[in-house]
């Protein structure tokens, strides 16, 4: 197996750093649940150990990790990183 050249190493390190940042600051969703109503909307990004606060004081409001959006982001970064490493295969430096 061939070793990675300098460009490939830089691309791989950048991809790993971006994945770590995505996991440290994941997307969150605000939830609302009543008798026959359930809705979700984006609550933005926040540190994993400090999620955003629910908007209401009642039990029907909540916050949850937006897993589907996080997985999509991780998938896109992984594909972009892998593609970058493969494209820069023949380049030296």
Q: What is the pLDDT of residues 36-83, one digit of tens each?
A: 888 889 999 999 999 998 776 666 888 999 999 999 999 999 999 999
Q: Is 22 exposed, middle or buried (0-12, 13-18, 19+ CB in 10 A)?
A: middle
Residues 83, 57 share a domain: no
Q: Which residue has the higher pLDDT, 1 or 81?
A: 81
Domain containing 13: what range?
1-26+67-93
Number of domains, the chain? 2
Residue 7 and residue 20 in one domain: yes
Q: Indicate whether 44 and 15 sit together in one domain.
A: no
Same-domain status, 59 and 72: no
Cα 11 off chain centre by: 18
Measured CA to CA, the distance from residue 25 to residue 43 in angstroms comes to: 12
pLDDT, position 34: 78
pLDDT at 91: 44
- Find the mean pLDDT for residues 1-11: 85
Q: What pLDDT score does 93 carry?
A: 46
Together in a domain, 73 and 91: yes
pLDDT for res 57: 67
Please tell me the distance from the alpha carbon of residue 40 to that of residue 30, in angstroms, as a whole number.
Answer: 6
């Amino acid at each position: 197996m061939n070793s990675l050249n300098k460009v490939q190493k830089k691309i791989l390190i950048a991809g790993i750093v971006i994945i770590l940042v995505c996991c440290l600051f994941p997307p969150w969703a605000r939830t609302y649940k009543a008798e026959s109503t359930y809705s979700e909307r984006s609550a933005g990004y926040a540190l994993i150990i400090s999620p955003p606060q629910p908007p209401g004081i009642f039990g029907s409001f909540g916050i949850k990790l937006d897993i589907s959006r996080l997985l999509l982001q991780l998938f896109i970064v992984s594909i972009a990183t892998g593609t970058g490493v493969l494209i820069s295969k023949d380049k030296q430096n």
